[in-house]
Structure 1
């Protein structure tokens, strides 16, 4: 498993770089430079320029995800475990979940300004619904018979949570985060083109407007690597905390 965690992505990376190189030879235009030139440019400007943009983007994603987890996990568990809570909150979730979250960006910017908060809230809104639905459905699908022995022994909710609820829904929870992460990164790119001078979205769009295609592709590579890093962290968490699910 450890061997796979290190080398799992290498064939795909080699294939994509080779495909990129072939396309650059066929097109033979500055708009699609050689991957070698883009990677060389990335190395040259990373510490002086791109690093600060990558830091801001990474911070916004982590802050939004953590906020969604802190709020979404207890609510999702209560919705799945307690019928009354689900009856009250489920209609609200069903009505607000289909709303395109990116459409709320102008409202968030009007209410919260153009700083960090609306960008973090956009990530939060995307992730929390995935968390809520995954936990609620996962707990609801647990057979009720599994709870009876613990009820008979006088177990507290803490015991039921630790012994049944959390182990049962943890794989679904991590999968929900993995699905939400891709959308969150895409939306973050869009939000970073407004009201900020830092972030990978700003860097890529600024390079595009300056017709600096090497910088643009260098930024795209960094944004892709950030996503790969986040997915890798989730994979490691799943392997460590869900050993029984292998």
Structure 2
């Protein structure tokens, strides 16, 4: 039954992908301009990209994404758990979170670059900032939603604090963390694109802008599609983690 559902899901994805290419080709015929090459021209450019340079750019982008996400998860999880289980810390940190959360993080890019330069730190930090506050709020709300009676039951059977964390708090927090990452991943990748066009010679953002400056539109669109593919694969990875660790939800 599970395999049938997966097959149907894959078939729908392929059908949508095919329809998008048909719409793209129709737009190419209607525009008849070099700024919008045909799908075949873009796929041909993609096939002729140098594998070494391509994987180097993808590796740099993936490293920045993973580093930013992991830092945001570690810091956000610790602060979120603290706020979720302690009324004192929640009252102290809640105003700070709510005052800083609405600030558009992309607007902080010039500030971050002034303080941390144009290197890897500023790029990773921007991705971390995009995710951090959403992780904090999601984890805090997820932990607060766990009934106190659940902890009382574990206390009555002699469970330690570590056992309560691994069996109650972490599963409750992990559920909302995965949902938060799924929602925020697109925004994080968009911010990464902006950071990679400044002071770097590697990354998919640099690759796309370099092709644009050279007026190589097929290669530019090939880079956009590959960048989108990276995001799609990361999105699928979150789904896999959700399926593996959140089976109790299903």
The answer to whether 1:166 aligns with 2:157 is no
Could you tell me how far 1:2 is from its partner in structure 2?
4.8
Partner of 1:45, secondary structure, is: coil
Q: Which residue of 2 aligns with 1:214?
A: 218
> Per-residue CA shift, 1:37-59, capped at 9, x if unaligned?
10110110140432221111111
> Per-residue CA shift, 1:201-244, capped at 9, x if unaligned?
11111211221101110100111000000000000000011111
* Unpaired segments ≥5 residues, structure 2: none
Moved over 6 A (4+): none
The answer to whether 1:196 aligns with 2:200 is yes
Q: Which residue of 2 aligns with 1:141?
A: 145
Q: Which residue of 1 aligns with 2:122?
A: 118
TM-score (structure 2 length as normaliser): 0.93
Instruction: Tell me, in whole angstroms, the C-alpha distance in 1 between the residues paired with 2:42 and 2:175.
Output: 37
Could you tell me how far 1:123 is from its partner in structure 2?
0.4
Aligned residues: 246
Partner of 2:49, secondary structure, is: helix
Which one of 173, 176, 179 corresponds to residue 180 of structure 2? 176
CA RMSD of aligned residues (A): 1.6
Which one of 49, 52, 59 corresponds to residue 53 of structure 2? 49
Q: Which residue of 2 aligns with 1:24?
A: 28
> Per-residue CA shift, 1:91-132, capped at 9, x if unaligned?
111111111111111121111111111000000111111111
Q: Is the 8 A contact 1:56 1:199 kept in 2?
A: yes
Structure-2 change in CA distance of 1:11 and 1:137 (3 Å): same
Which one of 12, 26, 35 corresponds to residue 16 of structure 2? 12
Could you tell me how far 1:151 is from its partner in structure 2?
2.5
Q: Which residue of 1 aligns with 2:87?
A: 83
TM-score (structure 1 length as normaliser): 0.94
Instruction: Tell me, in whole angstroms, the C-alpha distance in 1 between the residues paired with 2:17 and 2:123.
Output: 30
The answer to whether 1:105 aligns with 2:129 is no
Instruction: Tell me, in whole angstroms, the C-alpha distance in 1 between the residues paired with 2:211 and 2:114.
Output: 27
